[in-house]
Copies of this chain bind each other. A is one copy, B any other.
Amino acid sequence: MRGAVIHAPGDIRFETLDDPRLLHPTDAIIRTAVTCVCGSDLWPYRGAEPIGDPHPMGHEYVGFVEEVGSEVTSVRPGQFVVGSFATSDNTCANCRNGFQSNCLHREFMSTCQADHVRIPNAQGTLVATEEHPAEELWPSLLAVSDVMGTGWWAADAAQVRPGSTAVVVGDGAVGLCAVIAAKELGAERIIAMSRHASRQRLAREFGATDIVTERGDEGVARIRELTGGIGADSVLECVGTAEAMRQALHCARPGGNVGFVGVPHDVAVDGQELFFSHVGLRGGPAPVRRYLPDLIDRVLDGRIDPGKVFDLTLPLDQVAEGYRAMDERRAIKALLTP
């Protein structure tokens, strides 16, 4: 098989690799339908995370089952499946509590920018569609496996309720999907913080009612102006930097909620400040598996179209260009077709 391998910051190569094979009776092998580059892939690409030895990349996938281990009965060869970037047995205590991305047998996917992928914990991880979905739906189903699931989690963690006001910090693919989620969950007012015209347009198309271009303290002041002086009920932090977290916490009203879904880098929250704000804070890797059946239905019913976040499509062998385009912010998110 062939897939992407990172060798050093800025150095992504498309290489021939050993074909994946079943290592455990709980594994499945899929043939990738489409895959993509994630904003979080840019951390090592930019040298902001250690890389170590060269290794495959990618954690988003939809595809066709080719082979299943002896203990996998929930999906069968030939089916179209959607999974999550975090695999889960879906039976342990954490899974039963709805936090499948903290499954006691969790393995994070990391080899998905390839034409074939081994899926651990396949029984609990993969959800098959009843029929093969039309190819134009593949991008949206792919989005569900990570960015849409993560945007949903941001809205869930930030306790978006019907009639409430939601602020989305971050206009990357996750932030844009978070706008979709806030709308689906009934937010009346959705304020997207974005300074890029193309992303603002997509945010509006997805349901944003207001755009705030200011950042930092100016952005916070603008949010307060828009929310009767007290701040928003829910803030969806979709970046992961200290500045974004600070902005998110200051945009929430007393007793409001911040959901934070970008992996935090050098973020520390001051206990006393959090205390006097009354703001509730919850984050983490999205429990995508919890949302998969519902989100797949929403895509198949045409209610949501998160695949629009892919504004660049490349053949898989041009994966390196996908990284470059996202790094240079020429693309929101790059779709890769094997």
Taking beta carbons and an 8 Å cutoff, which residues of A are in contact with B?
93-94, 97-99, 101-102, 104, 157, 228-230, 242, 245, 253-255, 260, 263-272, 274-285, 287
Contacts and interface: CB of A to CB of B under 8 A. Distances in A.
A159 to B, nearest CB: 10
Most buried by B among A93, A98, A104, A287: A93
B263 A275 contact: yes
Contacts of A274: 264, 269, 281, 283
A99 B275 CA distance: 12
17 contacts: A93-B253, A99-B254, A101-B278, A102-B255, A242-B271, A245-B271, A264-B272, A264-B274, A266-B271, A267-B271, A267-B272, A268-B269, A269-B269, A277-B284, A278-B282, A279-B282, A280-B282
Given A97-B253, A98-B255, A275 B284 contact: yes
Contacts of A98: 255
Nearest to A282: B280
A107 to B, nearest CB: 15
Contact of A94 (B255, B267, B279): B255
Contact of A284 (B260, B270, B278, B282): B278
Contacts of A280: 157, 280-282
A104 B278 CA distance: 14
A255 to B, nearest CB: 4
A281 B274 CA distance: 9
10 interchain residue pairs of minimum CB distance: A267-B271, A264-B271, A102-B254, A280-B282, A99-B255, A278-B284, A269-B269, A268-B268, A99-B254, A275-B283
Contacts of A228: 93
B99 A278 contact: yes
A167 B165 CA distance: 33
A207 B233 CA distance: 35
A276 B285 contact: yes
Most buried by B among A102, A278, A281, A283: A278
A268 B267 contact: no
A229 B102 CA distance: 13
Most buried by B among A242, A254, A272, A284: A254
A230 B103 CA distance: 11
A157 B278 CA distance: 10
A90 to B, nearest CB: 14
A337 to B, nearest CB: 32
A327 to B, nearest CB: 23
